[in-house]
Chain A
C-alpha cells in the first residue's frame, strides 16, 4: 500500500496568513492526489484533484502543487471559514490511502 505522510499535524495561523500543508507519498503517484477540507460534524469537501486542479466553486486562494512523491496545499490568505482539518488522498492506485490530517486552528 502507498503510505501518505502529511505535515504538520496541526498549525495555528491568523486570518490573512499564507498556509502551506505538505503530503509525501511512499512511492511515486504522478499527480494523482486530492485535497479535502473537513469541518466538525460535516463530510469532507474536495478542494483539489489531480494535484493542482481546483474543484469548481472552491475559492482561488486554495492551490495545489507537486508530483511524484511530494505535494503541497497552499492557502494564500487564510479566511475565517478556512479553519478546518485538511486531508490528502492518493488516487493513483488501490487501495486508496489518506494522510493523517492537518488541523488548522486560529492563532
Chain B
C-alpha cells in the first residue's frame, strides 16, 4: 500500500526557514519512475507546484520560488525533505507531497501558517 505523510511545524514566524518532511511507504525512492513532488495550496486558492526530486537525485524547482527552495531525499529513511527560506505570511498554505509525475498518490497535506 502506497502512502505519503507530511510532517513539520504548523506555525512559523516571518523570515524563518520552513522544513517539511515527507515519509513514504509502499515504494522506494530509488525507483526510477518514483520521484516525489511538493505542491502547496493557500487557503481557498489554486494548487501550486513547488519542486520535484528524481530517483537519481536530480531536482527541479518552481521558477518563482527557486531561490528559496531546497529539496533533498534520504532513500534509506524513505524521506523527502523540503526547505523554504525567508517565510512570509503569503506562504501560508497546505503543503502536499506526492508521488510520480503526474502525481498519482498524495499525502494528506499539512497546513503551515506564517504569523508572528
Contacts and interface: CB of A to CB of B under 8 A. Distances in A.
Interface of A: 1, 34, 36, 38, 43-46, 49, 55, 87, 89, 91, 94-101
B89 to A, nearest CB: 21
Interface of B: 37, 46-49, 52, 60-63, 96, 98, 101-104, 106-109
B46 A89 contact: no
A101 B47 contact: yes
A79 to B, nearest CB: 22
Binding site of B, secondary structure by majority: helix, strand, loop or mixed?
loop
Nearest to B104: A46
Nearest to B108: A43
The 4 closest A-B pairs by CB, nearest first: A34-B102, A94-B60, A43-B106, A91-B102
29 contacts: A1-B63, A34-B102, A36-B47, A43-B107, A43-B109, A44-B96, A44-B103, A44-B106, A45-B106, A46-B102, A46-B103, A49-B104, A55-B104, A87-B46, A87-B47, A89-B47, A89-B102, A91-B101, A94-B60, A95-B63, A96-B49, A96-B52, A96-B101, A96-B102, A97-B49, A98-B47, A98-B49, A101-B46, A101-B47
Contacts of A45: 106
A84 to B, nearest CB: 13
B104 A89 contact: no
A94 B35 CA distance: 13
A43 B38 CA distance: 12
Contacts of B62: 95
